[in-house]
Structure 1
Amino acid sequence: MQTSELISSQSINGNSLVPTPAEPGVINIDAVTDDVGATTGVVNNFGYTDDLKPTLSGFVAPELSGTVIQFFINTIPAGFAEVQADGSWSFTPAKLLEPGHEYIFQTVVQDSATDAVAVSLPYTIYTTDLDADDVVAPQHATDLVLIDDTNAFNIEIQNDKSTHDNTPTYTGKAEAGSTVIISDNGKIIGSATVSEEGNWSFTPESALVDGSHIFTTVVVDSAGNKSDESAALHFTIDTGHSEFYVTDAYTADPVHGSVMNLENGESAFYSVNNVANWLTHINLHVGNPDNGDVTSTLYIDGKMVSSKVVIPDANGNYGVGYSNDWGDSIYLGTHEFVVVFDQGGNSTSFSYQVQPDAIDTVAPDAYYSRLINWDGEGHMNWFETSDNTTNKNVLTFSGKGVEQHTTLFFYDNGIEIGSTTSDRGTWSFTADEPFANGNHSLTVVVVDPAGNSSEASKAVNFTVDAHESVTSDEPSLIVDTLDINVPAALGNASIEDGHIHLGRGSVDKAQVSLDDILNGGKESLMFLDGKIQVAVHGDVGDTLVLNESDMQVTTWEEHDLTINNVDYDLYRVVDSNIELLVEHGVNFEHH
């Protein structure tokens, strides 16, 4: 309710209001609301608005619901509204008001029993042109980003950094429809209009001079209100000696080892049956050796695959190499490689393409290696082409020796039962469904990425005689205690976290099985090759013995390696996933 002195109730004489003695039942106007233009909300009594159809509203006691209110604008009848059940009411004039005028709103309520009327306090507003009522300054520009867009990767120029782009693009966000004024070193150099989504972008029409620059912005709305100045962005333009440039680059074929020098934008070719030639090294030069570290980012077909920091030598030269293991991403088809070098916005890029030099029409070789079955409980069996018998109906086969990036399709008695892909020529496969009891004949067809199929492999024939299902989700029991063949005084040895410790200051001898290794070992324990590994530690003269039954069915290959300054003999079971790393001085009896 208004707080100023009540005017008298009035009688109606024609279309004019005539003051009469005050009567009860007055319904005053609580608010006039502006919902157009830059400034919206409640317009105070004697306030300004650019809304030429503002909404009048108020509340009364709910028991007055149904009461009809008549509205007058400058003493002229303007319409009616009814009080709602909750006591609220609202009214919007049917005709537009005119800008630049004073308007007085009043309500009239007539008592149906006595015909007496009660007239409200006046609510006065002043209309303006569109947005002329906007006296609120906009917020300063936000999300400010300065971009070196001399290449397609739009490198951000960080605060206090350098760039060789003398027409960088400045972007940000601000009030929709407003104008952003951009200044450089305190002098206005241009402006940008903010879109309906609140975005703006500015690129200088004239190149900026080399040297130090400070960008600031001010936002001006349509009513002329100005924001505070944005935070300053300091940067340096150097189009001379600090620009990066590539001095040389080359590729290497990881299969054949041949080297090809590359020019920017050049194409390299690869054999369809080998992994692609691709960028393995690129040299960069920058004129000033004090510029510091550079970020080097590799993109393949527009997707970032590697990013690293490169440190210059004393002459300001940078060299960077990349691993050549990108798998299927560069196997078939034409692919684009782009390396972007960036140092706080000072950037350059180098690109080339790899292309096949022929269409792959050569079918891969048929699968020829024997199959290895892992039964899910740590047991490994070789399945030969001759008859095999197993009491397990869930069989996991693995092998190697196939062309890279191929897919292996498995057939049982001539019916496809699933497929798997090769990774560096190795693979593993578990059928989707358990094998039924009875005779089975398993064959493999190898299909390369070009769709060429090999001939079917020789059949592996086996019989399943499974009395109980082995498809339970219950985990198999992991046995980590080894079968020790040593004097009783030594106690038990065990695999702990993938390690066997034999050395106790005396000559020790322990026996181990392949099951022990599978159950107690860890994947990639000592180095990352995906194998199940166990590390054996002990004194000179200690001995680890493979049990007799496993010795009869295994073939091992041996290698030397050093890990964390410890020398090991590496023993791998051929065609399997098992590796033993035996510390030098410890004997391993496996033949």
Structure 2
Amino acid sequence: MASEKTTIAVGETNIDRAASAGMSTFTVQQPVLDGAFDNAGDIQGNLAPGSITDDRQPEFHGQGTPGDTIVIQDNGTEIGKARVGASGLWSFTPSTDMGEGLHAITLIARDASGNESAPSAPFNFEIDVTPPDASQLAITGVLDTVGGITGNITSGAATDDARPLISGTSSGVPGHTVIVRVRDASGERELGRAVIGEHGNWTLQVDAPLASGQNMLRVYEVDVAGNETALTAPYRVTVNTEKPAAPVIESVFDDVGTPHMLLPGEVTDDARPTLSGTAPAKHTVQLYDGATYLGETVADARGNWSFTPTVALPEGPHNITATATDKIGNVSEPSGPFPLTTDYTAPAASDAVLSDDVGPVQGPIAHGSVTDDSTPTYAGNAEPNTTVVIYDHGKEIGRTQTNGAGDWTFTPTVPLTIGQHIRINSGDFERLDGGLGIDTLVMDGKSMHIDLSALGMKVQGFEKFDLGAGGNTLALSASDVLAGGVRDMVTADGKVQMLVNGANGDVDLLGGSDGWTQGGNTTVGDVTYSVYTNLAGTAELLVEDKVHVTIM
């Protein structure tokens, strides 16, 4: 039978009534599910459709017709009812835990007459109360990026980095949260949170600095539902940011030329002077020239250290400082500076004038001339504030200091020996004659060879020979000594004597009809000589001990 719909007016109210098979029904308004609320765990709040929650008794709420009863179904099964209040709102919280897994909540509204609405659209969500797998959750590294010593800090070690990078692993799902907690002397707190990435790795850059002293780090993992793992085993690091005491540069040793300790500000010709000082024991001492790193050494158990640069210091002024670094990388303030200047350039040879102030003829002494002044005054100009060394036949006879303008003067305290000093720098000469007196032939060249026996009368009148420093050679026989020497010139023993000086070089003693024997040593004017005598015992040659002698 077709249904018949009639309208009955009661007062001012219209009531729709349908008659069908003798029964009357009303259309019931479909209820609305506004959402669900999670009240459990660390992650709480409104649940969006399709979300995951660890709350097994979430609160559902929505709207309906005042007075209607809302029937709540989960996957088609009724789990409870709620009454719509006068405001049109309703809420429902299950009295028993809902099962873990997927849920689809639908609603049916039922009026007082028992009429029911069509079911609402499903509200889908998932309940997950299983904690993440923590089998591989761990802190695997704490990275120090501060100070002189950087790298990973193993558990139980110390660091000077109060904001290290913490990293670790997990078997959790990418997107899960790792919460890092720290316990220090002030208590325990959350240090920060990291999100698990691909392959289960995670990192946390510490923002608020770790406290000085021991810090115990532990982590736990939270999934999107708010399920938490237990805390991991502790990873301990000790933070120490206290700077060591600054080292002290106590001495700088120059071992080139005349070895001596340098004074601050002194000029040195040592390109690699040795620095020594003190620092905290077992600390690494770094040496700097201004901002240039020179190298490092380690202080011993008593705090003593020394350092010699492996690379020569460039010529010029230097300001040497040192820092000390402890085993975890804390660096001290720089030491006080030690200033010095390196100078490797020899000063230019001085222009000098030799002056005679004795007897009737006085004034400048020309090169090669004769003077009766055995202590002539030498004067000239050289590099300011340097030492001028004066030599006679290669032997130092004195020193003097230039002034700020470079001027200097020198007068020998010991009279010069009588005789000429003739200098040659090659064997290219026609004839050399020293004349009367005790005269010296000075060989200024290099690798020169003078053979008195071969030259004969081309070289005469010289009782002394100076081989210089050029590796020169003098060859002579006993006959040459007897012909050109002077009896008792150096020592009173009745023999005819000649004398040979030199910083190096060679003397070849020619045999001929009369050979040579080597005697002992003798000292003349603070110079040691080896004494050679001919077989006849009439000639004697004194050779400075720096010169090599070969008896031919």
TM above 0.5, yes or no, is no
Larger Rg, first or second structure (1 or 2): 2
Q: Normalising by structure 2, report the TM-score.
A: 0.28
